[in-house]
């Protein structure tokens, strides 16, 4: 993303990629995830990614249905939007449930890796 000259485009692109990475981390994680596994930036990027994905699906459905001259596109758009909202609500439910659990005491020292520099 550093090859793009526009700063706004760089920021939006990096946020979308980070949101996608966070979604993949949730989907393909083999162990149980907790709040400590995510940074604030990860959660914000995920919500931003879901919003952009929902908007893209709405636009796709609009043009798809417009090309076929159908009037049922509104129902499909509502379904995709409801799916995106339910995903976000489910994510917050998972995060709030893990927040209530007592935190595990970690014997690992604080890392100074690339993840900390992104925040």
Active site residues: 6, 9
Helical pair 73-100 and 40-68, crossing angle rounded to 10 deg = 170
Say if CB 4 and CB 10 are below 8 A apart.
yes
- Tokens representing 90? 């489910």
Tokens 């949101």, residue?
Answer: 19
The alpha carbon of residue 3 and the mean position of all alpha carbons in its chain are separated, in whole angstroms, by: 24
- Which own/partner pairs from 89-96 qualify as long-range (CB within 8 Å, at least 24 positions apart)? 91/26, 91/43, 91/46, 94/33, 95/35, 95/38, 95/43
């Amino acid at each position: 993303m550093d090859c793009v000259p526009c700063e706004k485009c760089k920021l939006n692109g990096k946020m979308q990629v980070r949101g996608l990475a966070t979604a993949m981390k949730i989907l393909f994680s083999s162990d149980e995830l907790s709040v400590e596994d995510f940074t604030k930036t990860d959660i914000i990027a995920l919500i931003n990614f879901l919003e952009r994905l929902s908007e893209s699906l709405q636009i796709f459905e609009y043009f798809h249905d417009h090309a076929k001259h159908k009037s049922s596109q509104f129902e499909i758009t509502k379904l995709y939007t409801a799916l995106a909202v339910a995903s976000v609500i489910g994510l917050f439910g998972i995060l709030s449930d893990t927040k209530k659990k007592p935190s595990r005491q970690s014997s690992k020292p604080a890392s100074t890796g690339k993840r900390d520099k992104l925040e």
